[in-house]
Amino acid sequence: MTAPRLTADRDRCIGAGMCAMTAPEVFDQDDDGLVLLLHPEPPADHRTAARLAVGLCPSAALALHDPAAGDP
């Protein structure tokens, strides 16, 4: 089974930091405040926080692609 995979669109990111605050094990911010994806395939124990961070992103710069859920 393929693990869920995260993507981050840094061009779309507005630097709100919700991702880094919600899932600091998975996301960080660079010196300009833009998202840094630390783990594109987060371990199982961080997936819930990663999903929450995706949903909280105000600019929709994050996406979670979960093959088990039928996502490409």
pLDDT in tens, 23-65: 999 999 999 999 999 999 999 999 999 999 999 999 999 999 9
pLDDT-derived band at 72 (thresholds 50, 70, 90) equals low
> What range does the domain containing 15 cover?
5-69
- pTM higher than the cut 0.85: yes
In the chain, how many domains are there? 1
C-alpha 15/C-alpha 19 separation (Å) is 9
The CATH number that applies at residue 57 is: 3.30.70.20
C-alpha 13/C-alpha 11 separation (Å) is 6
